[in-house]
Chains A and B, each alone.
Chain A
């Protein structure tokens, strides 16, 4: 809930208003008595939070009820607005992030147009497997944040290919060398990403067992080879629109 409150306090138009309203409906309708308890934590009737329910399932139960149980149909007991809101709220309790419920998962900022739309799709395109940008970059709530957040978008595809990556060092562990991105070095051990192949592997080396030297043979240009230049142009357009 904390997240929702923060979002409501800051985001223009408060995208989570539907869920907020759903929370109120839930509190006075579903959480009461021996039913589902505050925030769906159960108070006699089954717990609803964190159950893996999706919106279709929740909507089905809310509209039809569960025969032979205390769960009656709410189809005519609540207004359409209340029904939509409470379904979104229970979905949120199950980690389902609808466009209303979770602005943190949808690319935020101004609506994307043209090339940027195409770029957004290319950035995370599932059919590319580990060859997609989101294997190492998180943008707008999607992707794995191996690399630091993208602060500066290269001016051109040529600049993207020539990108300097001073953070990538060469690690030597068990007599083997590998390109590495250091996460932390401490008494408990050293955490780093092994960038030898995609996807990167987070490794935890025993204290003193790994040595790093500056520079590496790793090049950003060698991991974006699955994209054409035109596709990379679109990706850059997307990144410019959202960063």
Chain B
């Protein structure tokens, strides 16, 4: 055992730069590590034995209000999971036995627009999560007892809430919020982990007198959206927090927020539709990169940010990779924000004809007031909110891609605080001439080339997991949980879990045994519901069950 441990240390030491975003026995964060790779360095389960993978235990949360979207966190053999209605469980990660549970009280006042809870974070002896009534809550990690709770905003007014997992830095718990499609001004807020006291707030949209404010027309900044509704990443060495920001509001009609004749090859409506780097101590903006200037398609750059050190164009770079709903994927230098590479992932893109090496979008096809325009990808996204994964072994990103379009008809209703401010109808449509509407892809972020693709008939809306066993895991709405060969894309294994996948998979180990855990239960929120209407013969099943796999004891 000692020898193995030493060997592990040596390997880990050598591989540090390449391995800095990998998880090991624990799955400590929403994105696996702070670098958000969703990659486990465990390889006990691998391409040669994955076919004998078998369920080790199940856990039914009993909360069927919405499905189980959360990424489980595993620390020292204990798994922490949260349900849509903020019921938090600590489970023995080897058996599923419940250690404690906590029920967040249902808010007294109705709260609109909430679709679920995407995860807890664990640190400083506490379990942190956001709520539908916009609080951040800290529980005691050992007992599940409430430690502190702080209200981030009045949900009744902003109609925003916190569905994403928080991000932890050394001493802070940081959250964004929803309602970027409403008349609302997005922000990121950091609290002291120990006391819950406010550390800083960064407004996505600069106020009067602040740099970037001039990119807003008139008073539009007040309700300009930009809500960062997912979870960021953290580089402890640079002490920078990275986050994707939402689209500007109104989504499909820009005359209220952009001056007529504005140059759309330049930054507009800052800092919406951007990746930003913030100083973790102060929340001050270090740099920004806007991906879609004047995002008039709801392409929403709020998605996950993967941090990785990679050789790009012959030079080792501290890079980050980020995709928005359009499927445009940017590779940036994460110390400066310099664009290193950009590539388009989905097959269908009617919104533009292409993108130049320096990130300029060519041939923009913008929705026009009073007209209906067929737009691909749809606002449901070339990828949904669920995360991609990255394997340092193959060097590939693993991305669930959807090929859906929409008939976009803009309107020009005035903003009313908190209320929907999309200013457009966008019924989602299946593109003609295809028999498959999604694919699971492997992409090399250094070259922007696709290595392999696996087509699927319906849609893929669950997060990816990659492992050092050269495996990639994800699930589909029909309930199949899949393992692919990470190098070739060959499907190696499939297991019918009984309910659709709209959550995440993680890997961890307890007492030397590797586990793969996945959340099941289809989701019924607007995008999921709309997508389901496209496949009326399908009856994807709801649920709320953790399914955990391992190799049979004898075969290890």
The residues of A with any CB-CB pair to B shorter than 8 Å are: 46-47, 50-57, 60, 64, 66, 68-69, 71, 94-97, 102, 104-105, 124, 126-127, 129-130, 134-135, 141-144, 189, 194, 196-204
| B65 close to chain A: CB less than 8 A | yes
Assess the A54–B112 pair: CB atoms within 8 A: yes
Known: A57-B526, A141-B156. A204 touches B148 (CB 8 A): yes
Contact among A64, A143, A198 for B154, CB-based, below 8 A? A143
Q: Which stretch (B348-356, B380-388, B417-425) binds chain A? A: B417-425
- The DSSP consensus for interface residues of chain B is loop
* Chain B residues closer than 8 Å to A53, beta-carbon distance: 526
Assess the A60–B425 pair: CB atoms within 8 A: yes
* Chain B residues closer than 8 Å to A143, beta-carbon distance: 154, 157
Contact among B109, B113, B114, B425 for A141, CB-based, below 8 A? B109
Q: A25 vs B532: C-alpha distance in the bound complex, in angstroms?
A: 26
Assess the B150–A201 pair: CB atoms within 8 A: yes
Give, as a whole number of angstroms, the nearest-CB distance from B413 to chain A: 9
Question: Number of B residues contacting the other chain (C-beta, 8 Å)?
Answer: 44
| B115 close to chain A: CB less than 8 A | yes
Assess the A46–B149 pair: CB atoms within 8 A: no
Given A60-B427, A126-B184, output 4 extra A-B contacts at Cβ < 8 Å.
Answer: A52-B113, A54-B420, A96-B112, A127-B207
Assess the B526–A203 pair: CB atoms within 8 A: no
- The DSSP consensus for interface residues of chain A is loop
Contact among A64, A95, A189 for B145, CB-based, below 8 A? A189
Contact among A50, A56, A134 for B65, CB-based, below 8 A? A50
Listed by A's residue number, 29 A-B pairs whose Cβ atoms lie within 8 Å are: A51-B524, A52-B526, A54-B419, A54-B420, A60-B425, A60-B427, A66-B533, A68-B536, A69-B536, A71-B533, A94-B112, A95-B114, A97-B110, A105-B156, A124-B154, A126-B222, A127-B207, A130-B201, A142-B156, A189-B145, A194-B148, A194-B195, A194-B196, A194-B197, A196-B195, A199-B150, A201-B150, A201-B197, A202-B150
* Chain A residues closer than 8 Å to B109, beta-carbon distance: 104-105, 141
Q: B104-132 CB contact bits vs A (8 Å, 1 = yes)?
A: 00000111111100000000000000000
* Chain B residues closer than 8 Å to A96, beta-carbon distance: 112
Contact among A126, A130, A201 for B195, CB-based, below 8 A? A201
Assess the A68–B154 pair: CB atoms within 8 A: no
Q: A178 vs B402: C-alpha distance in the bound complex, in angstroms?
A: 52
| B529 close to chain A: CB less than 8 A | yes
Give, as a whole number of angstroms, the nearest-CB distance from B257 to chain A: 16
Assess the B417–A126 pair: CB atoms within 8 A: yes
* Chain A residues closer than 8 Å to B207, beta-carbon distance: 127
For residue A47, which residue of chain B has the nearest CB?
B524
Assess the A126–B158 pair: CB atoms within 8 A: yes
Q: A83 vs B532: C-alpha distance in the bound complex, in angstroms?
A: 25
Q: A200 vs B417: C-alpha distance in the bound complex, in angstroms?
A: 24
Assess the A52–B115 pair: CB atoms within 8 A: yes
Assess the B197–A95 pair: CB atoms within 8 A: no
| B151 close to chain A: CB less than 8 A | yes
Contacts between chains A and B (CB distance < 8 A), count = 110
> For residues 127 through 170 of chain B, which have their beta carbon under 8 Å from a beta carbon of chain A?
145-152, 154, 156-158
Contact among A47, A66, A194, A204 for B146, CB-based, below 8 A? A204
| B185 close to chain A: CB less than 8 A | yes
Assess the A134–B157 pair: CB atoms within 8 A: yes
Known: A197-B198, A199-B151, A201-B150. A46 touches B529 (CB 8 A): yes
Q: B72-97 CB contact bits vs A (8 Å, 1 = yes)?
A: 00000000000000000000000000
| B525 close to chain A: CB less than 8 A | yes
For residue B417, which residue of chain A has the nearest CB?
A126
Q: A48 vs B146: C-alpha distance in the bound complex, in angstroms?
A: 33
Contact among A47, A52, A71, A141 for B112, CB-based, below 8 A? A52
Assess the B154–A134 pair: CB atoms within 8 A: yes
Assess the A202–B525 pair: CB atoms within 8 A: no
Give, as a whole number of angstroms, the nearest-CB distance from A199 to chain B: 6
Q: Counting chain B CB atoms within 10 Å of each CB, which of A53, A55, A95, A143 scores highest?
A: A95
* Chain A residues closer than 8 Å to B111, beta-carbon distance: 95
* Chain B residues closer than 8 Å to A50, beta-carbon distance: 65-66
Assess the B185–A126 pair: CB atoms within 8 A: yes
* Chain B residues closer than 8 Å to A68, beta-carbon distance: 533-534, 536
For residue A69, which residue of chain B has the nearest CB?
B536
Assess the B112–A127 pair: CB atoms within 8 A: no
* Chain A residues closer than 8 Å to B158, beta-carbon distance: 126
* Chain A residues closer than 8 Å to B195, beta-carbon distance: 194, 196, 201, 203
Known: A69-B536, A199-B198, A204-B146. A46 touches B524 (CB 8 A): yes
Q: A51 vs B526: C-alpha distance in the bound complex, in angstroms?
A: 7
Give, as a whole number of angstroms, the nearest-CB distance from B206 to chain A: 12
* Chain B residues closer than 8 Å to A54, beta-carbon distance: 112-113, 419-420
Q: A160 vs B320: C-alpha distance in the bound complex, in angstroms?
A: 51
* Chain B residues closer than 8 Å to A57, beta-carbon distance: 420, 526
* Chain B residues closer than 8 Å to A189, beta-carbon distance: 145
Q: A127 vs B158: C-alpha distance in the bound complex, in angstroms?
A: 11
* Chain A residues closer than 8 Å to B145, beta-carbon distance: 189, 204
Q: Counting chain B CB atoms within 10 Å of each CB, which of A66, A104, A144, A198 scores highest?
A: A144
Q: A14 vs B149: C-alpha distance in the bound complex, in angstroms?
A: 37
* Chain A residues closer than 8 Å to B150, beta-carbon distance: 199-202
Q: A4 vs B54: C-alpha distance in the bound complex, in angstroms?
A: 51
For residue B539, which residue of chain A has the nearest CB?
A44
For residue A173, which residue of chain B has the nearest CB?
B195
* Chain B residues closer than 8 Å to A134, beta-carbon distance: 154, 157
* Chain B residues closer than 8 Å to A126, beta-carbon distance: 157-158, 184-185, 222, 417
* Chain A residues closer than 8 Å to B196, beta-carbon distance: 194, 201-203
* Chain A residues closer than 8 Å to B525, beta-carbon distance: 51-52
* Chain A residues closer than 8 Å to B425, beta-carbon distance: 56, 60
Q: Counting chain A CB atoms within 10 Å of each CB, which of B111, B115, B151, B417 scores highest?
A: B151
A-B residue pairs, 4 tightest by C-beta = A201-B196, A95-B110, A95-B112, A54-B420
Known: A56-B420, A134-B157, A203-B148. A51 touches B529 (CB 8 A): yes
* Chain B residues closer than 8 Å to A194, beta-carbon distance: 148, 195-197
Give, as a whole number of angstroms, the nearest-CB distance from B486 to chain A: 35
For residue A91, which residue of chain B has the nearest CB?
B112
For residue B418, which residue of chain A has the nearest CB?
A126
Q: A68 vs B535: C-alpha distance in the bound complex, in angstroms?
A: 8
* Chain A residues closer than 8 Å to B157, beta-carbon distance: 124, 126, 134, 142-143
> For residues 512 through 556 of chain B, which have their beta carbon under 8 Å from a beta carbon of chain A?
524-526, 529, 532-534, 536
Give, as a whole number of angstroms, the nearest-CB distance from B253 to chain A: 13
Give, as a whole number of angstroms, the nearest-CB distance from A200 to chain B: 8
* Chain B residues closer than 8 Å to A69, beta-carbon distance: 533, 536
Assess the B420–A55 pair: CB atoms within 8 A: yes
* Chain B residues closer than 8 Å to A197, beta-carbon distance: 197-198
Q: Counting chain A CB atoms within 10 Å of each CB, which of B112, B145, B526 scores highest?
A: B112
